[in-house]
């Protein structure tokens, strides 16, 4: 159903950029923090034998916060009556607080303090991200949401590639000195990019004043209702969430523990550099495919693309497992990147097809339960890696890669269970018999 609150004026090229530019900063910050800054900062406070466990703990807790905060912020924004619009006030508050909190990442002197400040940072970021993700179902005509989702993911990927390269340069000689110029330069760049994209979003996105939803119209009126999914009305949505969760688990596991894998198994002297190289290879492949995949899904539907993505990504995992050498790892990263780019744009478009438009903020927040939940659950493999590494050098990383392979395959199989119908590129949320 077309969103009745969407503007009636034509949706043109620059409009895609206006409503998604913040994704550049959010994607870049997530990649830089999870892949380089937090892993290296944790090594300031804990011994090597427990670093995977502590990295898993802090990122797991942060993503649990995301799972809780995003649907709440989205639901509250659905009911907003602000004259500035339903989404932008929350984006302003969340991003402003996150910029201030970034300084704490560099100044803390213990793991406990790092844990606390990262939790507050995640809270702030997700107060903004829940409402931000509702821009597409709010403002984009249904026939253009595949492309809009592609642009959103393109910017998130580009932010990840660009900012992780910058951060890897600053952090390449990081020595554990919390007052080091590399760490503060990295945090400063992330804060600046957040600020610039925030200003662009606030100035260029045009929302109507929030009219608020009433309980009768389906908006969540109580805390439990915020997380309620109407399975009868949207039977394919839950299955969609599980598939997304598994795919995100695989991608996040690779991103989170890649630096330690290169350090301990491949034996690279500068693991921050090769981690950045791998993520760059993944990112470039994603950039190539993300827009075409969104366009194609608008024409042929989402299902076949999503199924192929899981099997292609699993092939990339197999290459890493059997051939752990630099150039083949980058080739495998390219395969995974192609799969991930096509998956993320197509899968996000599928979400906008399945949700009720009048509750877009709440349902897109629930959609990110799969994203944040997959990211959180992926971190729990940290203690498993440490345990199996204790039994034999590199064994834990073999378990890690095998788990990622399984996540991709099972996620693809689950997509088969969603019955799709061709209608303007949209998908019916039915489960096949």
Asked whether residue 92 is domain-assigned, the answer is: yes
Per-residue pLDDT at 406: 94
Asked whether residue 219 is domain-assigned, the answer is: no
On the question of pLDDT at 94 being above 70, the answer is yes
Least confident of 100-114, 231-245, 345-359: 345-359
Asked whether residue 26 is domain-assigned, the answer is: yes
If you search the block for the tokens 């788990």, which residue do you land on?
403
| CATH assignment of the domain containing 376 | 1.20.1250.20
Centroid of chain to Cα 156 = 8
pLDDT band at 199 (very low <50, low <70, confident <90, very high): very high
**pLDDT tens track for 356-402:** 666 666 667 677 777 777 877 887 888 888 888 888 777 898 899 99
Per-residue pLDDT at 122: 93
pTM over 0.85: no
User: What's the rounded Cα separation, in Å, for the pair 203 and 196?
Assistant: 11
Q: What is the mean pLDDT of residues 55-73?
A: 84
**In percent, how much of the chain has pLDDT > 90?**
25
Q: What is the mean pLDDT of residues 182-187?
A: 90
User: What's the rounded Cα separation, in Å, for the pair 200 and 91?
Assistant: 12
pLDDT band at 210 (very low <50, low <70, confident <90, very high): low
User: What's the rounded Cα separation, in Å, for the pair 243 and 246?
Assistant: 5
Asked whether residue 367 is domain-assigned, the answer is: yes
Asked whether residue 1 is domain-assigned, the answer is: no
The residue that leads in pLDDT, 296 or 146, is 296
Least confident of 5-14, 90-99, 344-353: 5-14
User: What's the rounded Cα separation, in Å, for the pair 307 and 297?
Assistant: 12
pLDDT band at 339 (very low <50, low <70, confident <90, very high): very high
Per-residue pLDDT at 95: 96
On the question of pLDDT at 131 being above 80, the answer is yes
Asked whether residue 6 is domain-assigned, the answer is: no
Domain span at 418: 13-210+224-431
Number of structural domains found in the chain: 1
Asked whether residue 115 is domain-assigned, the answer is: yes
Burial class for 367, CB neighbours closer than 10 Å (0-12, 13-18, 19+): buried
Per-residue pLDDT at 341: 87
On the question of pLDDT at 426 being above 60, the answer is no
Centroid of chain to Cα 426 = 23
On the question of pLDDT at 344 being above 60, the answer is yes
Spell out the SS3 assignment of 4-30.
CCCCCCCCCHHHHHHHHCHHHHHHHHH
Residues in Cβ contact with 388 at an 8 Å cutoff, skipping those fewer than 6 apart: 395, 396, 398, 399
Per-residue pLDDT at 150: 79
The residue that leads in pLDDT, 81 or 151, is 151
Asked whether residue 2 is domain-assigned, the answer is: no
On the question of pLDDT at 49 being above 50, the answer is yes
Taken in order 70, 72, 78, 84, is the CA torsion positive or negative? Answer: negative
Per-residue pLDDT at 212: 56
């Amino acid at each position: 159903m077309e969103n009745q609150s969407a503007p009636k004026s034509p949706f043109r090229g620059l409009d895609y950029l206006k409503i998604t530019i913040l994704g550049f900063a959010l994607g870049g910050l997530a990649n830089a923090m999870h892949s380089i800054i937090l892993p290296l900062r944790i090594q300031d406070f804990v011994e090597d034998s427990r670093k995977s466990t502590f990295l898993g703990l802090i990122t797991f807790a942060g993503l649990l916060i995301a799972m809780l905060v995003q649907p709440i912020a989205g639901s509250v924004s659905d009911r907003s009556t602000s004259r500035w619009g339903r989404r932008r006030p929350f984006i302003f508050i969340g991003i402003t607080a996150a910029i201030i909190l970034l300084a704490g990442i560099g100044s803390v002197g213990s793991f406990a303090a790092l844990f606390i400040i990262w939790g507050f940072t995640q809270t702030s970021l997700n107060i903004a991200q829940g409402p931000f993700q509702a821009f597409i179902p709010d403002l984009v005509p249904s026939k253009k949401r595949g492309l809009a989702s592609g642009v959103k993911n393109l910017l998130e990927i580009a932010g990840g590639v660009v900012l992780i390269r910058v951060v890897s340069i600053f952090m390449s000689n990081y020595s554990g000195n919390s007052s080091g110029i590399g760490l503060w330069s990295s945090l400063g760049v992330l804060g600046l990019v957040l600020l610039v994209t925030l200003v662009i979003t606030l100035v260029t996105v045009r929302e109507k004043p929030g009219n608020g939803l009433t309980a009768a119209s389906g908006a969540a009126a109580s805390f439990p209702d915020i997380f309620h999914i109407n399975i009868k009305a949207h039977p394919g949505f839950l299955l969609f969430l599980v598939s997304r969760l598994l795919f995100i688990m695989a991608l996040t596991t690779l991103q989170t523990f890649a630096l330690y894998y290169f350090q301990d198994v491949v034996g690279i002297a500068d693991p921050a550099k090769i981690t950045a190289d791998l993520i760059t290879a993944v990112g470039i492949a994603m950039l190539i495919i993300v827009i075409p995949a969104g366009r194609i899904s608008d024409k042929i539907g989402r299902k076949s693309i999503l199924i192929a993505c899981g099997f292609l990504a699993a092939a990339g995992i197999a290459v890493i497992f059997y051939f752990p050498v630099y150039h083949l790892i980058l080739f495998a990263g390219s395969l995974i990147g192609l799969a991930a780019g096509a998956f993320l744009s197509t899968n996000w478009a599928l979400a906008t097809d399945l949700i009720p438009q009048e509750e877009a903020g709440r349902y897109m927040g629930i959609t990110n339960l799969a994203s944040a939940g997959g990211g959180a659950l992926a971190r729990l493999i940290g203690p498993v890696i440490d345990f199996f590494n204790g039994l034999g050098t590199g064994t834990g990383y073999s378990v890690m890669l095998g788990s990622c392979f399984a996540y991709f395959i099972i996620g693809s199989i689950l997509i088969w269970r969603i019955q799709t119908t061709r209608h303007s590129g949209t998908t019916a949320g039915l489960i096949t018999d």
